[in-house]
Structure 1
Amino acid sequence: MSELFDNLDHRRAIIDRRDLAAQLDAIAAESSDSGTRRRAMVDLLKAALEDGRAEIERRLLERPSSGRVAANAMAFLIDQIVRLSHDFTTGHLYPSANRSAGERITLIAVGGYGRGEMAPHSDIDIGFLTPFKQTSWTEQVIEAQLYTLWDLGLKVGHSSRSLDEMVRSAKEDLTIRTALLEGRFIWGDRALYDQASARFDAEVVAGNARAFVAEKLAERDERHKRMGDSRYVVEPNVKEGKGGLRDLHTLFWIGKFIHRVRTVPELVGAGLLSARELRQFERAENFLLAVRCHLHTLAGRAEDRLTFDFQREIAQRMHFADRPGKSSVERFMQLYFLHAKSVGDVTGTFLAHLDDQMAARGRRFLPTIRRRPGKLHGFVLDRGRLALPSDDFFQQDPVRLVEIFALADKHGLEIHPQAMRQARHDAKLIDARGVRRIPRANALFLDVLTSPRDPETVLRWMNEAGVFGRFVPDFGRVVAQMQFDMYHHYTVDEHTIRAIGLLADIEQSRLQEDHPLSTAIMDQIHSRRVIYVAVLLHDIAKGRGGDHSVLGAELALRVCPRLGLNEAETETVSWLVRYHLLMSATAFKRDLADFKTILDFAQVVQSPERLRLLLVLTVVDIRAVGPGVWNGWKRQLLTELYDAAEEVLRLGHKQRGREQRIASKKEAVAAQFGFDQKVFDKVAKRLPESYWIAEPVEVIAANLVHIRQAGDAPLHIAAVPDDDRGATLVMVLAADHPGLFYRIAGGIHLAGGNIIDARIHTTRDGLALDNFLVQDPLGRPFDEPGQIGRLTRAIEDALANRHKLLPKLEARALPRTRAEAFRVAPNVFVDNKASNRFTVIEVNAQDRPALLNQLAYALFQSKVTVHSAHVATYGERAVDTFYVTDLIGDKIDSAARVKSLEKRLLEAATSQSEEAVAA
């Protein structure tokens, strides 16, 4: 038996080939009919395959982290099935007593199967080799064997080639070349396999190492780009993602091609891995293989994306338990990301060894940086990269562990992978020698953090080396820590480093188009150090239990003085960390037209400098959550809140009185859009003062056109795409009546729209003028005529009561399997202090189609009037806020009514019954 499977105990418990071979011989003896024989063979092998898989799964559950053993066991099982099938096919289905020299055949395993690593539902990559062009007998045997494997329910990737065809295909195609590189003899003519192996080495491999390495690294970079180019995405691809199994495979392929090694441990002898790096490689591979095997088993298919719904189950299977402040699934995923980081570490040093070997043959393989800065404080340049003069250089002065990154940033240098490896090894010196208390070390760290060049890249290097987490131990606690929700795309440390990079981009005016206000005010900020340190610390207390904003503010009071910030700067950083969610919560959940919202916000902020800092921190925090989270509507709301709060903070009161502001807005609308004055005055008189305060100039102009177009019609619906806000403005002018809001919301949902904001107005002549900002399911405006037509028809049908809304909504609701991994307990808050005129109701619930419609119907049942609605979603969590009064316009302050309202809304947030959405 191959040494590949020496780690498998009790192999016959998985499959007993001898016993099965005897049973197959008995089958052949019982009948001479080939069809009967074949069906009996398939039945026997199918039962053996199922039993073998069950035994492998049983062993995996007993030892849930033994990934390599499980993967080897699966390859071993398939080997025996293939061998038995081949022997039966050549011996009993298509026997040939006198075969010619051309009627030889060898079966080889290629790809992952060739490596002996198979998850339960991996493809079986198999090759059939013949010495020359296929004969009729070899064609029959190959076809029969493939049909057998397919009948067993196996997914087979196969090729049938002569030796000449094999060589030609391998030369032409990188994928084939890589697959054959891992070719392994399974069964058949051993001499033919040896001949094929020798020709592959001589004609495909020899002299082509440099080209192969270049192609594999380019292929790896393209794959990383396709998979998100980060090993810290919270739903990683275990096989193809950055830091996944394919990255380890790439290293092995390169080593095998250059040095013709057969196993990973042989890479040590080849000089491409050290013994320590080999252990890292094997630990990471074993863990990732275990995760992939569990993933395939749970999915019942070949599935490599570790989505939220599988993460919890695999954490349980692998015996992770909850700990204070950190759930079992978060602990499991933290270990996953630490292994993914380890894959990155091994890759870096492997490529450094490879580069040295290539350079010894004449030239460097990796690109060279040719700058030669003069003052390197004892560090040296090794072919353009910052390197160490000796292995004990960090031990002589551990501050150099920080200094190397400061020099790399200052001079724009790469750090030599060998220096990175030594930094990882020596990072523990930071604990032992009191480096954190040395002012020079803290000054160097602050230089990197606040660099006007590229702090994101250098901080990421520092994090990869383990120096970042050692120097700022509170940051070390969030390294590789995931946030188990559908909102955050990255681990906490990756999110933080990305936010720092975005801050640098804003300061350098590289994101001026996306963030014009933030870019403009960066020049006005008094202390750059404050904003950079605040971004570093804003999420640093996550995973500790309790409010991470409060705990983080306390941590900031300890960390900032150590970094060299003065008392005033420390206080400001602590305040920013404490309130880093305030601006987004106010902008996205509250009515900014309600002046008390602005006053309450300004009362907490207290100074224009804090306001500037808070805006920038809010922007980079949202942007760093992940792709697609930032949009024009969020920019609009944050700008609106910033402008209103700045006016209050600068003057202590509003610059202009209410009447002046209304008159000013009317002038702006009339001037900007060229309305005839008489027509404008006539339409404007129909709109109450509150409307002019609430709506921006562009919306007012669109509404006035809408009102003119409506004429005397009892109902008029219009939709206008608004690219600045990234949404479509849907305007409904209708006779006001109870239930109007929930019906419009239901119609919009039915057309596939998501409502992100709603303003409800009543004209002086009793008509309802409702404005909705709507996006499609991908977060884009409805902008095609067909889409807009479908949207307006759906609203018309809902208002005309042409059908029951709930059955229609349920029929179009898409399953949300990923969201089912989460449970958001619904909560209702009724607040009579947040507004002078309205009762403010905030509902937190699990997001689902038509939730807003159901909540609006519950408010209708409770006999309250909705004046505005604000919708925010954070992954699986929806936060819907309503500004309401009773039917005569008063606040809802009766304790009994408040309790009844809370109960009804909780039922609506929880239930999807027909009572929640009326006809």
Structure 2
Amino acid sequence: MPAALAAATDEAAWREVAKAGLVSGRALLRQRFEAGEVADRLASRWCAVADDIVRSAWARCLGEPEGIDLLATGGYGRGELYPQSDIDLLVLAGPEVQQARQADIGRFFSMLWDAGLATSQAVRSTGQCVEAAREDITVLTALMECRVLAGDEGAVARLAAALSPEALWPPKDYFAAKREEQRARHARFHDTAHNLEPSIKEGPGGLRDLQTVTWMGMRLYGVPGLRALVPLGLLGEDECASLEREWRVLARLRFGLHLLANRREERLGFDYQKNLAAMLGLKDERRDNLAVEQMMQGFFRSAATVMRINDRLLQRFEEQLSGQEPPQPLGDGFELRHGYLAMAEPARLGRGFDAVLALFEAWDVQPGARGLHSETARALGESLGAIRPYPEQPEGLRQRFMVLMQSPQAVAALTRMARLGVLARYLPAFGKVAGRMQYDLFHVYTVDQHTLTVLAHIDGFARKADERFGIAHEVWPRLRKPHLLLLAGLFHDIAKGRGGDHSELGAVDAREFAGAHALPGADADLLAWLVEQHLLMSVTAQRQDISDPDVVARFANKVADREHLDYLYLLTCADIAGTSPKLWNAWKDRLLADLYSATRFALRRGLENPVHATEIMAETRAAALERLLGEGLAQEDVERIWAAYPDVGFLRYRPEQIAWQTQGIAASGGADTLVLARPHLHDGGLEVFVRTPDRDGLFAALVATFDRLGLNVLEARVLNSSDGFALDNFQLIAPLGRAPEPAAVESALRNALRDPGKVRPPRRAAPRQLRHFRVPARVDFDASADGRRTRMSLVCTDQPGLLAGVAQVLRRFHLRVHDARIATFGEKVEDFFLLTDERDQPVADQALLDELRAAIVAGVDGESRDGKKEAEH
């Protein structure tokens, strides 16, 4: 290309040659990328293409002038250029030369932009560089990595001397500023690399972390790169090799992402993940081990390694800068250095798991330690290969591991072991799920991170640390052996990605672990049962009507006793809360607590003596009446209102809900339409009660109005009074936690109820992320347990206005909704409805059900396609 650029007769011809060179260069890069060429060679090739264009433009605009130099800085300066990265340029010249050549310099930058090279440029003298660097540490950092593109080769050395630590930003100040910069950057990503759409460059464990410690080494020790820290004893040879290996992984991902996006994109978003995995040559192995999941697992593992070594290096730099400090002996060969736990002889760790376990035992009794000393952490990392899996460990060491699991600091110990790679060696099944993601919107963490989050919630139950769990702190003290719950949390998802039912496979792993660690038979049985049934309570609570005594009885029979119930309840709470920070809410807390309480009562009564609906209704009626009398209502007024109230209401509602509804009816003065709304259970939560003459389209109008108000329906109870009124109760939540005022909700609903037939759901585009996940719509019908209703289940992709749209279809078929349970799991919706025909009879016409199924599937799939098209436009 240099010859073709030089031969161009004018700037227009030059521009076309440069553009063509960039296009052909990127095409060649993609070919070489897909052929497997390593990232550093690709980056060098692309840098050479940019150099040719930049130098040619400089020669055309400025020739070979005296007193003015052109430098590449930043990533371009170190020769690391990605397909869509900016090229960082510095024109170095005194003020007089800058003024004299201003037009030529401007023309030079314009030529680059016109050719298609995005530049980040500065025109400064050496003194101006010093002042800019003094004010902004990012300027200094960019100028630490520069090379001459045109002009005097000595310019770099002169600039480096002017920017030396003696002149500005001495090592301590530079270290403190860059460390704080990294902390702030990590905080933007919630201090974890385990995001669904991680940033390869800026996120924790990303390329910027590698660059940060490189810059620190350059500034603090005057070395040219990370490898130069090895002879200084600051970086181990194995650590350096690990960082170089992970840089190649991350750089290749970033390179491919730029090629795929055809723009500067640093976030590994859903728009690109599948296609990038294909570019890397990965193939789907099974439904639970997709190519995209393999790619992301590789990324998360690389990021974890970078974070570990980054932490060690920062600690070593800090110690070097703060000077020597006498260690504080702790006994048994351990000491505190600068507040970090250290082994006096870290080489002991290479002898096997005995010394490694001793390290974690010492850490267990020093919870105030700032962390593991970098030398000890480095020795531990080097010793990982010597740690054998638990079946190969002596019985005494396995028993010491179990003692550690029974410590008050057990969760902290497990978390440390996981972060430092020890747990994956001792328990290889855990190593297989390290960094494993699930390609959906429901599981926001990798499997190992989810597991550690579940354990953290369990630890919180013991410490009563989270008020969001209403009764967990009451249940926890009843556990016979709390460490069995920790082990259940450790194993509950450990078999994901293997193919087959992960609950069943995990139960096998748990039983083998229990046998090897000499757990008593009853404990082993309980542990295996918890792992195998860890979804039972969640599924029952969220997909079935737990106000139905038969549902509770079936669940109680599976649980069988109080002990299993206590453990399962706490594991379920921790599992749901540990799946996503946004998943747990007070409605789920109440739902699980209600199922727990009803099951406890059933077990206490005896499984051979099931609770009957009539008993529950009588108890609810008595409790509600007591409340209402205490509020000043006359019993005859209450009985008059209840005379038309359906008996099943006393089964489905709590006493306080019955009292709230009854008070509203009494205060309405006989008005035809009553709408009540109140904040309920959690931030952004509302409960709404509507009493209005029953008519077609009522349910559809109500849910469409909720949709317009930005409220999601969690649960709908739709009853009918004997005097012709619909009695509809809804549990609602505002997704962003900002619900409208109750008065505004009441007003909107009253307006809608004036003419329900005219209310239509709003049309909105689906969120961007949902476009990448398709769940085939499926509609199934069966009879309710009592045979009086038709149960419809809907599984499909989530989308705006889904429930309102389904309600419109049901209205078109003249079907009544008597109950609705709405559950969303990321991109997947699992909704359940109880239906009847207009005569309140189950729907017996199979042809009608087939037609209904087809209409709902067509509506759901059509909305999904329309939403995708609208979002794309």
TM over 0.5: yes
Task: State which drifts further: 66-75 or 641-650.
Answer: 66-75
Residue equivalent to 1:9: none
- Quote the offset at 1:870 in angstroms: 0.7
Residue equivalent to 2:21: 48
Residue equivalent to 1:62: 35
- Quote the offset at 1:789 in angstroms: 7.0
Is the Cα contact below 8 Å between 1:372 and 1:384 reproduced in 2? no
Match of 1:269, SS state, is coil
Residue equivalent to 1:235: 197
Residue equivalent to 2:798: 847
Is the Cα contact below 8 Å between 1:747 and 1:794 reproduced in 2? no
Is the Cα contact below 8 Å between 2:75 and 2:88 reproduced in 1? yes
**Alpha-carbon distance change, 264 to 393 in structure 1, aligned in 2, over 3 angstroms:** closer
Residue equivalent to 1:661: 619
Residue equivalent to 1:802: 758
Is the Cα contact below 8 Å between 1:633 and 1:725 reproduced in 2? no
**Alpha-carbon distance change, 742 to 123 in structure 1, aligned in 2, over 3 angstroms:** same
2:358 corresponds, among 403, 418, 421, to 403
- Quote the offset at 1:889 in angstroms: 3.5
Matches within 5 A, 1:206-285: 208-285=170-247
Cα distance in 2 for residues equivalent to 1:720 and 1:583: 29
Residue equivalent to 1:426: 383
- Quote the offset at 1:499 in angstroms: 1.1
Cα distance in 1 for residues equivalent to 2:751 and 2:736: 19
Residue equivalent to 1:145: 108
Query: Does 1:341 find its partner at 2:294?
Result: no
Cα distance in 2 for residues equivalent to 1:913 and 1:460: 41
Query: Does 1:17 find its partner at 2:26?
Result: no
Match of 1:158, SS state, is strand
Match of 1:560, SS state, is helix
Cα distance in 2 for residues equivalent to 1:914 and 1:846: 11
**Alpha-carbon distance change, 668 to 336 in structure 1, aligned in 2, over 3 angstroms:** farther
Is the Cα contact below 8 Å between 2:780 and 2:792 reproduced in 1? yes
Cα distance in 1 for residues equivalent to 2:79 and 2:655: 67
Residue equivalent to 2:871: none
Is the Cα contact below 8 Å between 2:293 and 2:439 reproduced in 1? yes
Match of 1:515, SS state, is coil
Matches within 5 A, 1:361-510: 362-363=323-324, 372-374=329-331, 376=332, 378-379=333-334, 381-390=336-345, 392-412=347-367, 413=369, 414-431=371-388, 436-453=392-409, 455-510=410-465
**Alpha-carbon distance change, 356 to 748 in structure 1, aligned in 2, over 3 angstroms:** closer
Cα distance in 2 for residues equivalent to 1:905 and 1:640: 32
- Quote the offset at 1:568 in angstroms: 0.6
Cα distance in 1 for residues equivalent to 2:743 and 2:846: 48
Is the Cα contact below 8 Å between 1:352 and 1:418 reproduced in 2? no
- Quote the offset at 1:371 in angstroms: 6.2
**Alpha-carbon distance change, 702 to 489 in structure 1, aligned in 2, over 3 angstroms:** same
Q: 1:498-547 CA distances to partner (integer Å, 9 max, x unpaired)? A: 11111111101111x22130011101111112211111111111111122
Q: 1:761-816 CA distances to partner (integer Å, 9 max, x unpaired)? A: 11221111212222334254333766x3785377448x44336x3xx633xx1343
Is the Cα contact below 8 Å between 2:678 and 2:742 reproduced in 1? no
Task: State which drifts further: 896-905 or 502-511.
Answer: 896-905
Residue equivalent to 2:705: 747
> What amino acid does structure 1 have at the position aligned with 2:716?
A
**Alpha-carbon distance change, 713 to 185 in structure 1, aligned in 2, over 3 angstroms:** farther
Is the Cα contact below 8 Å between 1:163 and 1:196 reproduced in 2? yes
Q: 1:28-82 CA distances to partner (integer Å, 9 max, x unpaired)? A: xxxxxxxxx4x4443443333233222222322222x622233333333222222
Cα distance in 2 for residues equivalent to 1:913 and 1:480: 31
Query: Does 1:72 find its partner at 2:44?
Result: yes
Match of 1:271, SS state, is coil
Cα distance in 2 for residues equivalent to 1:125 and 1:710: 72
Is the Cα contact below 8 Å between 1:858 and 1:904 reproduced in 2? yes
Residue equivalent to 2:687: 729
The runs of 5 or more residues in structure 1 that have no matched partner are: 1-15, 28-36
- Quote the offset at 1:217 in angstroms: 1.4
Cα distance in 1 for residues equivalent to 2:272 and 2:865: 32
Matches within 5 A, 1:333-732: 333-355=296-318, 357-358=320-321, 362-363=323-324, 372-374=329-331, 376=332, 378-379=333-334, 381-390=336-345, 392-412=347-367, 413=369, 414-431=371-388, 436-453=392-409, 455-511=410-466, 513-652=467-606, 653-654=610-611, 657-671=615-629, 673-675=631-633, 677-708=635-666, 711=669, 713-724=671-682, 726-732=684-690
Task: State which drifts further: 227-236 or 825-834.
Answer: 825-834
- Quote the offset at 1:751 in angstroms: 3.3
- Quote the offset at 1:618 in angstroms: 0.9
- Quote the offset at 1:355 in angstroms: 4.7
Query: Does 1:792 find its partner at 2:749?
Result: yes
Match of 1:427, SS state, is helix
**Alpha-carbon distance change, 40 to 669 in structure 1, aligned in 2, over 3 angstroms:** farther
Task: State which drifts further: 681-690 or 335-344.
Answer: 681-690
> What amino acid does structure 2 have at the position aligned with 1:853?
A
Residue equivalent to 2:58: 86
> What amino acid does structure 1 have at the position aligned with 2:862?
S
Cα distance in 2 for residues equivalent to 1:237 and 1:846: 26
> What amino acid does structure 2 have at the position aligned with 1:469?
A
- Quote the offset at 1:443 in angstroms: 2.9
- Quote the offset at 1:700 in angstroms: 3.1
- Quote the offset at 1:698 in angstroms: 4.2
Cα distance in 1 for residues equivalent to 2:864 and 2:32: 44
> What amino acid does structure 2 have at the position aligned with 1:119?
Y
Match of 2:230, SS state, is helix
Q: 1:565-616 CA distances to partner (integer Å, 9 max, x unpaired)? A: 2111111111111111111112222222222221121121111221111111
Match of 1:745, SS state, is helix
Task: State which drifts further: 741-750 or 216-225.
Answer: 741-750
Is the Cα contact below 8 Å between 1:722 and 1:729 reproduced in 2? yes
Matches within 5 A, 1:77-226: 77-91=49-63, 104-132=67-95, 135-201=98-164, 203-204=166-167, 208-226=170-188
Match of 1:867, SS state, is strand
Cα distance in 1 for residues equivalent to 2:329 and 2:747: 64
**Alpha-carbon distance change, 838 to 452 in structure 1, aligned in 2, over 3 angstroms:** farther
Report sequence identity in percent: 30
Report the RMSD for the aligned CA atoms in angstroms. 3.0
Q: 1:829-849 CA distances to partner (integer Å, 9 max, x unpaired)? A: 434364564333222111111
> What amino acid does structure 2 have at the position aligned with 1:46?
K
Cα distance in 2 for residues equivalent to 1:159 and 1:380: 51
Query: Does 1:332 find its partner at 2:295?
Result: yes
Is the Cα contact below 8 Å between 1:406 and 1:445 reproduced in 2? no
Matches within 5 A, 1:307-322: 307-322=269-284
Cα distance in 1 for residues equivalent to 2:309 and 2:835: 59
Task: State which drifts further: 870-879 or 749-758.
Answer: 749-758
Match of 1:801, SS state, is helix
Cα distance in 1 for residues equivalent to 2:735 and 2:337: 52
Count of residue pairs the alignment pairs up: 860
Cα distance in 1 for residues equivalent to 2:30 and 2:350: 48
Cα distance in 2 for residues equivalent to 1:420 and 1:199: 38
Cα distance in 2 for residues equivalent to 1:801 and 1:894: 26
TM-score, reference length from structure 1: 0.87
- Quote the offset at 1:558 in angstroms: 1.1
Cα distance in 2 for residues equivalent to 1:133 and 1:769: 84
Cα distance in 1 for residues equivalent to 2:660 and 2:117: 61
